[in-house]
Structure 1
Amino acid sequence: MTVPPDGRPLRRHRPFVLLCVEQTAGSVGRQITALALTLLAVTVLDAGPFAASAILALTYLPGAVLSPFAGVLVDRVRLRRLLVLATSLQALVVGSVPLARAAGHITWPHLYAVAAVSGTLTFTLSIALQTALPRVVAPDRLLAANSVLTGARTVGQIGGPALGGVLVGLTGTGPALVVGSAAYAVEALVLFALPAALDTRAAQRDAPGTSPTAVLRAGLDVVRRERPLFRMVLAGAGLNLGSGAAAALYVLYTSRELHLPSWQLGITYATFSAATVLGIVVAKRFGESLGLWRATRICGLVAGAAGFLVPAASAGPAFPLLIAYQVSYGLAVTVWSISLTTLQQLIAPAGLQGRVAGFNQAVLLVTVPVGALGGGALAGALGNVPVLVASAVIALVSGATLWAPMRAEQQTGQALPLTDQAQRGPGGR
């Protein structure tokens, strides 16, 4: 399903505006739910460190394991129906917690099940929405559209925790989860208002009698065949591995070794949010002027090199160096993420969009907890600074692999031409 060029501004494109509203509502719902679930476990069920961290792990584990299978589902079902069903289930699953608490029957198995099911639905929705965007917006406008959607999602990521904290403080965890459930219900209504044409299945179908393994492998084959995309995904996995280790040690390192006051630590996190917003603003212009492939290569190097600023803070002025890290890393990874998603949507055939997105999401997700757990374990034996240096080396080497020579025959497909020209069509202004 190819969307013809459209000269209307994106802000007047009703289906796209609906997707923006959905991204904000869904992001707020997820942030409130994550905070309220963890606080409920700690305050009501007296959770220890392991039990609390298990809730967070269960929200990510399904995405790492099940994303390729979710991609197959997205490619085979009616897309709008799937989006509405998944968000409606989110509302019911999250809403079951305050109901159980009101009845006095809240238990650990219930919380763990909610975390796992909610995580599964969240990452299925992520794949489905990546697949929906090319059916709503013409190819020449995907870069701009992904930038705006990232901005809408970031609004929820920044405001959601603050709203969740206020709600918990004023009303308690139960009412806060009711609000989170309501946010998912709003998301479902917004998605229901999307064009019915989204329920039209993609033209490309798997041949009759295709084995389940071959159906699943079809998305992986696209990623492996398109070498720029393949390299970007692998480099992203390495960057996530290194940054996952750094993120796991960041608070401990800055508090105990750098003796950073809590207000300065908070400012470094706020700086990252500001850098993310800046990345959203410049991503479209950066990608159009340099091409998506070149933009991601530059951002890979910047993100990798930025990691060295964290261990360097132990030898220099800590606060300015950490601010510099958050600015450079936040800006680079935001442009990287937008460019990767756009390139993926431009390359993947219509009937394989979900599977390509599913494999990419699985690879990028699984490396974060691996890096965090590995970094934490090694830091106990080697110390924080050596592990932070090693994580920066891994991230930089991963970004540098994008600059390795690539034979002309490996640059086939749509990736390189589209990055330099198609973004400058009349609708991309």
Structure 2
Amino acid sequence: MTVPPDGRPLWRHRPFVLLCAEQTAGSVGRQITALALILLAVTELRAGPFDASVILALTYLPGAALSPFAGVLADRVRLRRLLVLATALQAVAVGSVPLARAAGQLTWPHLYAVAAVSGTLTFTLSVGLQAALPRVVGAARLLAANSALTGARTVGQIGGPAAGGVLVGLVGTGPALTAGCAAYAVEALVLLALPSALNSPAAHGDAARPSPAAALRAGLDVVRRERRLLRMTAAGAGLNLGSGAVAALYVLYATRELGLSPWRLGATYALFSGATVFGILVSGRFGERVGAWRATRICGPLAGAAMFLVPAAALGAPFPLLLGYQLVYGLAVTVWSISMTTLQQLAAPPGLQGRVAGVTQAVLLMTVPVGALGGGALAAALGNVPVLVASAAVALVSGATLWAPVRADHGEKKAALADQAQ
């Protein structure tokens, strides 16, 4: 077992510290890679808006669609080996780009393939880590552990783009991608140092080795059976649908319609990062005080309501209203995400952690590009403000559905026990 003894702080539990280090290194690598790939496409292959959007979509959609299958793998195979292999393959895939560029053989199909493979491996790693965390820290410490891991990941998300921009400016896109590969290599070494106990497959009950379709159905059945998990997943999909549309229109709307200067636009994003950090700091104590389920019920509608500040900015005072949006939305969505992930891990049986994570991740992630593409298409016909209002309404209604009465299920009982233990 890798669970820390009672009373030992998580920061003194070596396997958990390794997971935090992995989150930081991996996040830096992914941020550098994402920025350098787009800049390479623009500068070397003369990418237009459509080409850049295809690269973005390919880093997102294949991995989201394949997340349930990644969950089957996480439950059936040696988990530490899967995590290390996924990270090492990501380093190889990304590293092929600067090599092809140096040889003068860089092509669009190559870049598209790297974007798709890298995105798929990223989401495979995400599912595997969600399956690993309960085995590392135990049920009683999941809320605190998820908060800490989100913090470690946020460090990379804040510092990664800046590091990528500096590297591209100083040494160019090729060496910057090589630096991204180095971050993946560090991540793989950290994962390799995880306890060997994680190499014991979690799905001990799968002795009959059901077909992949049957294995997927087992994970889907858990989501259906655990009513609160099902409702959180549905509400999260609606929130992501609305936020995807808002995110797709935000820069264009803020600069062209509201006339925000670049530094003010950047300030709104900076405040979102600050709100995320604050959300990480308060999520554990807030979740312990009100319970993880109630935390999602509070923060879901709050995140949806915050989106109305974006179209409201067209009426006046755009800069303060957009700052308010980023502050409230960043705080609410961070606490929501940490609480939902914790409840999902509590609801899933030990042998089904990967499959449950894969199913919920697929549902949540697929709605983001759908919202972005749909919002962009509708805004071209109807204008930005009506679409922003409709997107906020979808998000708010989705979050509000969590307040409909529901009986406590097995996952919520486990969550209540975990809250008491904390």
Among candidates 391, 399, 414, match of residue 418 of structure 1: 414
Q: Which residue does the alignment assign to 2:79?
A: 79
In structure 1, what residue type is equivalent to 2:415? T
Q: CA 1:2–1:198 in structure 2 vs 1: closer, same or farther (change >3 Å)?
A: closer
In structure 1, what residue type is equivalent to 2:418? A
Q: Which residue does the alignment assign to 1:68?
A: 68
In structure 2, what residue type is equivalent to 1:423? D
Structure 1 counterpart SS, 2:205: coil
1:63/1:365 contact within 8 Å kept: no
Q: Which residue does the alignment assign to 1:139?
A: 139
Q: Which residue does the alignment assign to 2:277?
A: 277
Q: Which residue does the alignment assign to 2:173?
A: 173
Q: CA 1:180–1:2 in structure 2 vs 1: closer, same or farther (change >3 Å)?
A: closer
Structure 1 counterpart SS, 2:410: coil
Could you tell me how far 1:263 is from its partner in structure 2? Answer: 0.9
Could you tell me how far 1:213 is from its partner in structure 2? Answer: 1.9
- Distance in 1 of aligned mates of 2:279 and 2:414: 21
2:4/2:136 contact within 8 Å kept: no
Could you tell me how far 1:205 is from its partner in structure 2? Answer: 2.4
- Distance in 2 of aligned mates of 1:243 and 1:33: 24
In structure 2, what residue type is equivalent to 1:99? L
* TM-score, structure 1 normalization: 0.96
Could you tell me how far 1:261 is from its partner in structure 2? Answer: 1.1
After the TM superposition, which residues 9-48 of structure 1 pair with which residues of structure 2 at under 5 Å, given as runs?
A: 9-48=9-48
Could you tell me how far 1:7 is from its partner in structure 2? Answer: 1.6
| Aligned residue pair count | 422
Q: Which runs of 5+ in 2 are unaligned?
A: none
Q: Which residue does the alignment assign to 2:198?
A: 198
In structure 1, what residue type is equivalent to 2:416? D
- Distance in 2 of aligned mates of 1:414 and 1:116: 34
Encode CA deviations 1:27-72: one digit per residue, 9 max, x unaligned: 0000000000110010011111111111111000112210111111
- Distance in 2 of aligned mates of 1:21 and 1:213: 35
Could you tell me how far 1:207 is from its partner in structure 2? Answer: 5.1
Q: Which residue does the alignment assign to 1:368?
A: 368
2:146/2:338 contact within 8 Å kept: yes
After the TM superposition, which residues 260-271 of structure 1 pair with which residues of structure 2 at under 5 Å, given as runs?
A: 260-271=260-271
Q: Which residue does the alignment assign to 2:382?
A: 382
Q: Does 2:337 correspond to 1:337? A: yes
Structure 2 counterpart SS, 1:194: coil
- Distance in 2 of aligned mates of 1:159 and 1:229: 33
In structure 2, what residue type is equivalent to 1:220? L
Q: Does 2:148 correspond to 1:151? A: no
Could you tell me how far 1:423 is from its partner in structure 2? Answer: 2.8
Structure 2 counterpart SS, 1:29: helix
2:134/2:142 contact within 8 Å kept: yes
Output the aligned Cα RMSD. 1.2
In structure 2, what residue type is equivalent to 1:313? A
Encode CA deviations 1:307-345: one digit per residue, 9 max, x unaligned: 111100111311111111101100000000000111111
Could you tell me how far 1:424 is from its partner in structure 2? Answer: 4.0
2:4/2:10 contact within 8 Å kept: no
Structure 2 counterpart SS, 1:6: coil
Encode CA deviations 1:183-216: one digit per residue, 9 max, x unaligned: 0000000000000010011153225263332211
2:55/2:115 contact within 8 Å kept: yes
Q: Which residue does the alignment assign to 2:393?
A: 393
In structure 2, what residue type is equivalent to 1:139? A
Encode CA deviations 1:357-416: one digit per residue, 9 max, x unaligned: 00000000000000000000001111100000000000000000000111x3xx22131x
Could you tell me how far 1:4 is from its partner in structure 2? Answer: 6.6
After the TM superposition, which residues 78-117 of structure 1 pair with which residues of structure 2 at under 5 Å, given as runs?
A: 78-117=78-117
- Distance in 1 of aligned mates of 2:209 and 2:415: 36
- Distance in 2 of aligned mates of 1:330 and 1:258: 21
Structure 1 counterpart SS, 2:38: helix
Structure 2 counterpart SS, 1:314: helix
In structure 1, what residue type is equivalent to 2:320? P
Encode CA deviations 1:55-96: one digit per residue, 9 max, x unaligned: 111000112210111111111100001111111111111111
1:127/1:354 contact within 8 Å kept: yes
Q: Which residue does the alignment assign to 1:123?
A: 123
Q: Which residue does the alignment assign to 1:301?
A: 301
Query: Which is further off, 91-100 or 394-403?
Result: 91-100
Q: Which runs of 5+ in 1 are unaligned?
A: none
Q: CA 1:191–1:2 in structure 2 vs 1: closer, same or farther (change >3 Å)?
A: closer
1:19/1:149 contact within 8 Å kept: yes
Query: Which is further off, 271-280 or 102-111?
Result: 102-111
Give the percent of matched residue pairs that are identical in Structure 1 and Structure 2.
77
Could you tell me how far 1:138 is from its partner in structure 2? Answer: 1.7
Query: Which is further off, 3-12 or 59-68?
Result: 3-12
1:287/1:419 contact within 8 Å kept: no
Structure 2 counterpart SS, 1:7: coil
Structure 2 counterpart SS, 1:72: helix
1:63/1:361 contact within 8 Å kept: no
- Distance in 1 of aligned mates of 2:260 and 2:37: 29
